[in-house]
Amino acid sequence: MRFFDPFEELKRMQERMNRLFEEFERTSRAFVPTLETFAVPVDVIDEGDQIRVIADLPGFNKEDIQVYFEDASLVIKAERKEEKEEKGKDYIMQERRYGEVYRKVSVPVDVDVEKVSAKYNNGILEIVLPKTEKAQKKVIKIE
């Protein structure tokens, strides 16, 4: 016959809870957002004869941003390189991230690639994609 010890049962329960919290902490750390995991937030606006894509890329230099077409999609890619570590600096907190961000936006219409324009100002990238004549919506007047 086994003797029931409530303190032993509490100890086992505490160990199980500790394992549960350790597992939660381990898995939640994998989902902490870093620059490497961020997708570039964009707005895609159909303006009739063109599509305007507005992307937030704060903290990047214009030279660090690439925009190109790949498989009928617009690709926005930017990379912020880590500054060289200065010896003797003791960080209290370091939240700024370095790495690459990437976004691939499907373009559902034919675009005149030769006339695409892009400008970057104050962390906002604006890309204008002129539609080809056949891709533009034609309104038919009903008589």
Query: What is the number of domains present in the chain?
Result: 1
pLDDT on residue 96 = 65
pLDDT at 33 over 50: no
pLDDT for position 18: 86
- Residue 106 located in a structural domain: yes
- Asked if the structure places residue 64 within a domain, the reply is yes
Residue 141 lies in a domain: no
Inside any domain, residue 21:
no
Q: Which residue has the higher pLDDT, 127 or 73?
A: 127
Asked if residue 110 belongs to a domain, the reply is yes
Q: Is residue 4 part of a domain?
A: no
Range of the domain at 109: 37-135
Percentage above 90 pLDDT, the chain: 29
Is 10 inside a domain boundary? no
pTM, entire model: 0.63
**27 pLDDT band (50/70/90 cuts)?**
low
- Would you say the C-alpha torsion 16, 22, 25, 28 has a positive or negative sign? negative
**Statement: residue 34 has pLDDT above 90:** no
Q: Does some domain include residue 26?
A: no
CATH number at residue 44: 2.60.40.790
